[in-house]
């Protein structure tokens, strides 16, 4: 059986989703636990895989990666060899921030970050050179109304 998440764990996780770099003392204070009890809970959540990693969120525009693109893909082949190759291509292309296998008319949706339309074109050409794809279309994000990694816990 996996780790059972109680309300105290949820308070810890909500805090860490907001600021994973906060000190243990501040975290403990915010969730109303002693420092040691808080530390033990965080370690258990990490050991159980509930906390996968702690990362810094960067501002893409300040790093000249201001264009978000949703890439919709339909494929001609659905065999395991193609899927293995596609997974390897996705893992190797750092522009791809998310890759999702879909139900319905689309087979895959990729969420990517690039500098501009010319950079997207470079990405597109590299993608189709590496793996056969029947159809690719893209939508450029005009405005991020909400873009979060925080889970609703």
**Distance in angstroms (rounded) separating the CA atoms of residues 30 and 124:** 46
What's the per-residue H, E or C state across 103-152?
CCCCCEEEEEEECCHHHHHHHHHHHHHHCCCCEEEEEECCCCCCCCCCCC
Rounded to two decimals, the pTM is 0.87
Enumerate domains of the chain plus CATH numbers. Answer: 7-47 (1.10.10.10), 61-140 (3.30.70.920)
Query: What's the pLDDT at 24?
Result: 97
Under 8 Å CB-to-CB from 35, ≥6 apart: which residues? Answer: 24, 25, 28
| Residue 1 confidence (pLDDT) above 60 | no
CA angle 21, 27, 33 (to 5 degrees): 155
pLDDT in tens, 39-79: 999 999 999 999 999 999 999 999 999 999 999 999 988 89
- What is the residue-averaged pLDDT of the chain? 95
Query: What's the pLDDT at 2?
Result: 67
pLDDT in tens, 87-140: 999 999 999 999 999 999 999 999 999 999 999 999 999 999 999 999 999 999
Comparing CA positions, the residue from 4, 26, 5 lying closest to residue 15 is 26
């Amino acid at each position: 059986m996996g780790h059972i998440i109680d309300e105290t764990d949820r308070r810890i996780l909500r805090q860490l989703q907001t600021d994973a770099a906060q000190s243990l003392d501040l975290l403990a204070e915010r969730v109303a636990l002693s420092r040691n009890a808080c530390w033990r809970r965080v370690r258990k959540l990490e050991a159980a895989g509930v906390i996968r990693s702690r990362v810094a969120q960067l501002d893409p525009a300040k790093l000249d990666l201001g264009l978000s693109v949703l890439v919709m893909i339909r494929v001609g082949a659905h065999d395991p060899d193609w899927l293995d190759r596609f997974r390897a291509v996705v893992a190797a292309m750092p522009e791809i921030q998310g890759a999702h296998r879909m139900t319905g008319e689309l087979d895959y949706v990729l969420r990517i970050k690039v500098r501009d339309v010319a950079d997207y074109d470079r990405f597109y050409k590299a993608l189709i050179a590496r793996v056969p794809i029947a159809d690719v279309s893209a939508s450029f994000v005009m405005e991020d109304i909400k873009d979060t990694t925080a889970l609703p816990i």
